[in-house]
Amino acid sequence: MRAGFVSSPHSARVNRVDWVMLQVCLALIPGILAMVWFFGWGVLINVALAVVFAVSAEAIVMKLRGRPVLPAIGDYSAVVTGVLFALTVPPTLPWWLTLLGILFAIVIVKQLYGGIGYNPFNPAMAGYVFLLISYPVQTTTWLPPDIPALLEARDLTLLSFMDSARLIFTGVLPAGLGWDAVSAATPLDEMRTMLDQGAAIGEIRQSPLSGLFGGRGWEWVAGGFLVGGLYLLWQRVITWHIPVAFSAGLFVTAGIFWFVDPGTHPSPLFHLFSGGALLGAFFIATDPVSACTTPRGQLIYGASIGALIYVIRTWGGYPDAVAFAVLLLNIAAPMIDHYTQPRVFGHGKRA
């Protein structure tokens, strides 16, 4: 090779795992800030706890396996798992439940299958679903968004940093407050409950929990994750296939039912900007290990997740169905890849 020349591919892009994971963490910042603004300091406390638990669990398992510890925790994959898990659980989740969820995600779902690159399921979503099925009350008790009109209308209180920490670590509420004063239904919960009671969409939209087109406060959170997702696309950390197909699958499916009967089916924008849909589209469904890898397969995979979210939200038992939809399609990803392999040219006939 002549001096001054390098072999192909001629690209300056950095594809190291640690670089990719750091970009994901950076892209999550707008959404995290929006969550802290609307739901209080418990969000940051949960993120810190989940990251510490995830990195510690990863280090301990690698030590027990006789593998190098620093390279495993230095790729920041455990950090991303911890952050994503923390963003899906309520800000007041007890610390020991965060520990249980992270242990399940890191030890069972990730390391039991061989570590990074071998896990068939998204670890953060598997940990969240484990808690949701085992402890449904604690994992669905959310704080109200910090909106004065909403807090006054329902006589609710947003917790301070110290109150949040005390509640997370001890389970003790501030003096004079009960759960009714610090908890509220999410927009998806309220929409589902009111529809089951026979209320019309127009009536439900009069609730203080309703924003312009999504959930009050949740619109800004979803917008933060949208900004972060666009950053990942700009940095080419992810491709457009899964996020666009995911969003289109949810939007189109919801749009069909909304067009047929807008009085009993929320608008497509409500589904996109309430709950974890956009977080799922850009940060969860795009997990390079558990998702599809072929371009056509990614389109099918993303669209199927979006459609399945609508089905579970509308007729299933869980209002925000992102985790379940992602895990179900994780199971189907190898089959989808098998049937969507690009055609290989240039092979001669066998003798």
- The 3-class SS string of 285-309 reads CCCCCCCCCCHHHHHHHHHHHHHHH
Residue 244, pLDDT score: 97
Residue (of 186, 140, 178) closest to 156 by Cα position: 178
The rounded distance, in Å, linking the Cα atoms of 61 and 120 is: 18
Residue 110, pLDDT score: 93
DSSP structure string for 220-248? HHHHHHHHHHHHHHHTTSS-SHHHHHHHH
Q: Which two tokens stand for residue 325?
A: 């939809």
Whether residue 243 contacts residue 302, with contact meaning beta carbons closer than 8 Å, is answered with yes
Alpha carbon of 107 to those of 58, 61, 128, 296: distances in Å? 7, 7, 14, 32
The rounded distance, in Å, linking the Cα atoms of 148 and 235 is: 38
- Residue-level length of the chain: 351
Residue 27, pLDDT score: 97
Identity of the amino acid at 37: W
Residue 189, pLDDT score: 80
Within the chain, which residues score under 70 in pLDDT? 1-15, 146-157, 174-185, 344-351
Neighbouring-strand partners of residue 184: 142
The rounded distance, in Å, linking the Cα atoms of 234 and 240 is: 10
Name every residue whose Cβ is closer than 8 Å to that of residue 95 and which is 6 or more positions away in sequence. Answer: 49, 168, 169
DSSP structure string for 72-123? HHHT-HHHHHHHHHHHHS-TT--HHHHHHHHHIIIIIIIGGGTSTTT-SS-H
Tell me the whole-structure pTM to 2 decimals: 0.89
Residue 54, pLDDT score: 96
Q: Is the dihedral of CA 141, 120, 249, 335 positive or negative?
A: negative
Residue 179, pLDDT score: 52
